[in-house]
Amino acid sequence: MSERRVLAPFGRRRAPAVQARDVGAYRLLVVADDGPAGRPGQFYMLAAAERWGGGDRERPFVPRAFSFLRREGSRLSFLWEDVGPGTARLSELARGDDVWLLGPLGIGFAAPREGRRPVLCGGGIGIVPLAGWQDHLGGAALLGFRDARHAAAAELLHAPRLATDDGSEGHRGLVTDLLLAELERDPHAEVYACGPPPMLEGVRALCAARGVPAQLAMESGMACGFGACFGCVVPTREGYVRLCVDGPVVEAAALEAVSG
């Protein structure tokens, strides 16, 4: 497992934003970072360096855990959707603003076994850890979104095939429909997936039924990133694991099911 984990330097570091822009319904932030290059599937804890909290008399926010999109030299990219006060503050950041950065943390993806071809399957913001992995491995990218506005983020991967809930881009339906067709065409694959729990459960069940190995980058609320708070535990066949230290990438075969 050591080859799947790049160790974070001790303590958080200050990183300036060098680019910030909207990508459809999402916000892209690129920072200059002098830390080690993480492995796709690992994550970082981010906090705005200024005004990180509800107000002068209120508690500061806890850092937010984000998978990284990709690393290009010293440039580290993140993508998120504004869904609450923490992501709203991060979405205000512009070029020249600083963030506190801690990472890389957790366990990333492993190379395909037995010469299997990689197939990447992402849903919504779950496309993020797959971008850097596709840079490294290549492979088919199957991406699912709610609508065309969210599907604009597909530009961040190479030659993806798309599914949208409303049919406004690509296949009308679920990204697992695309995965089923891909595995029926050639089942000698290893699937890498990230997305909401119902999607991951669909991927897990589909792969289990066909004997196809899969690695799932799972999502959970993380307050510390070091396994101290036990806020991100998920059940496996061998007992509970903490996604921040035992994941977030988990072998699908270790799970009975993926619950939301």
Domain residues for the domain of 121 are 117-254
Tell me what pLDDT residue 1 has.
56
Q: Are residues 121 and 249 in the same domain?
A: yes
Which range among 54-68, 143-157, 234-248 shows the weakest confidence by mean pLDDT?
Answer: 54-68
Domain boundary at 38, 70, 104, which?
A: 104
Tell me what pLDDT residue 258 has.
87
Q: Are residues 127 and 223 in the same domain?
A: yes
pLDDT tens digits for range 92-102:
999 999 999 99
Tell me what pLDDT residue 15 has.
98
Q: Are residues 87 and 129 in the same domain?
A: no
Tell me what pLDDT residue 141 has.
98
Q: What percent of the chain has pLDDT over 90?
A: 78
Q: Are residues 150 and 56 in the same domain?
A: no
30 found inside a domain = yes
Residue 7's pLDDT band, with cuts at 50, 70 and 90, is confident
Cβ–Cβ < 8 Å for 143, 127: yes
CATH number of the domain at 49, please: 2.40.30.10
Q: Are residues 63 and 167 in the same domain?
A: no
**Overall number of domains in the chain:** 2
Mean pLDDT of all residues in the chain?
93
User: How buried is 178 (Cβ within 10 angstroms: 0-12 exposed, 13-18 middle, 19+ buried)?
Assistant: buried
* Three-class DSSP labels, the chain: CHHHCCCCCCCCEEEEEEEEEEECCEEEEEEECCCCCCCECEEEEEEECCCCECCCCCCECCCEEEECCEEECCEEEEEECCCCHHHHHHHCCCCCCEEEEEEEECECCCCCCCCCEEEEEEEHHHHHHHHHHHHHHCCEEEEEECCHHHHHHHHHCCCCEEEECCCCCCEECCHHHHHHHHHHHCCCEEEEEECCHHHHHHHHHHHHHHCCCEEEECCCCCCCCCCCCCCCEEEECCEEEEHHHHCEEEEHHHCCCCCC
Residue 160's pLDDT band, with cuts at 50, 70 and 90, is very high
CATH number of the domain at 210, please: 3.40.50.80
User: Of 10, 28, 129, which Cα lies nearest the Cα of 79?
Assistant: 28
CA gyration radius, the chain: 18
85 found inside a domain = yes
Q: Are residues 186 and 90 in the same domain?
A: no
β-partners of residue 26 are 23
Give the phi and the psi of residue 55 in degrees, each rounded to 5: 160, 175
111 found inside a domain = no
Tell me what pLDDT residue 2 has.
57
* Mean pLDDT to the nearest integer, 157-163: 98
Q: Are residues 123 and 248 in the same domain?
A: yes
Q: Are residues 36 and 88 in the same domain?
A: yes
63 found inside a domain = yes
User: Of 143, 219, 129, which Cα lies nearest the Cα of 175?
Assistant: 143
Q: Are residues 128 and 84 in the same domain?
A: no
Domain boundary at 49, 77, 104, which?
A: 104
Say if residue 223's pLDDT is above 80.
Answer: no
Q: Are residues 246 and 183 in the same domain?
A: yes
pLDDT tens digits for range 28-68:
999 999 999 999 999 999 999 999 987 777 778 889 999 99
112 found inside a domain = no
Tell me what pLDDT residue 9 has.
87
pLDDT tens digits for range 166-180:
999 999 999 999 999
End-to-end CA distance of the chain: 26
136 found inside a domain = yes
Neighbours of 201 (CB within 10 A): 18
42 found inside a domain = yes
Q: Are residues 221 and 157 in the same domain?
A: yes
236 found inside a domain = yes
Q: What percent of the chain has pLDDT over 70?
A: 98
Q: Are residues 54 and 135 in the same domain?
A: no
